[in-house]
Amino acid sequence: MKYIITESKLKNLLKDRLGVDLDGKITMVTNQYDLPMEFDKFIPPKVLNMYLNRFGPMFVIDTPKKTFLYQNQAGVPTITDTNDRLYSVTSLMSHLGIPPMGLTIDDLINIYFQE
């Protein structure tokens, strides 16, 4: 049986049942000045511009314990932290406290990112 859940109901479910509130915690990186300084040590401006031009915007996901940088690179989700460690989607979702329920990081960005 399939249930249709609207974005607002999903946002409420994540907040009320799982304690996940990413309001204001996801920002878009479209140039070197949007990138937090912690990432500057391993992503120089030329490399950042190449990634942005080739794959589109990056997103910073700020959590109380860590800050993550996410970019969908030709269908491959690339996630790193401020120590240049790579993460899988599963481990990021686990860090956020979201159990396996079919949500993608792009779904979270669509729900929580405010332009």
- Taking CA atoms, 12 is separated from 5, 21, 72, 96, 110, in Å, by 11, 9, 26, 15, 14
Residue 5 lies in a domain: no
Per residue in 14-69, pLDDT (tens digit) is 777 777 877 889 999 999 999 999 999 999 999 999 999 999 999 999 988 899 99
Helix ranges (DSSP H) in 1-115: 7-18, 45-55, 89-96, 105-112
Residue 10 lies in a domain: no
Q: Given its phi and psi angles, is residue 102 left (phi above 0), alpha (psi -120 to 50 degrees) or beta?
A: left
Residue 45 lies in a domain: yes
- 114 pLDDT above the threshold of 90: no
Asked whether the whole model's pTM tops 0.95, one would answer no
Residue 101: domain span: 22-112
Number of domains in the chain: 1
Say how far apart CA 107 and CA 109 lie, in whole Å: 5
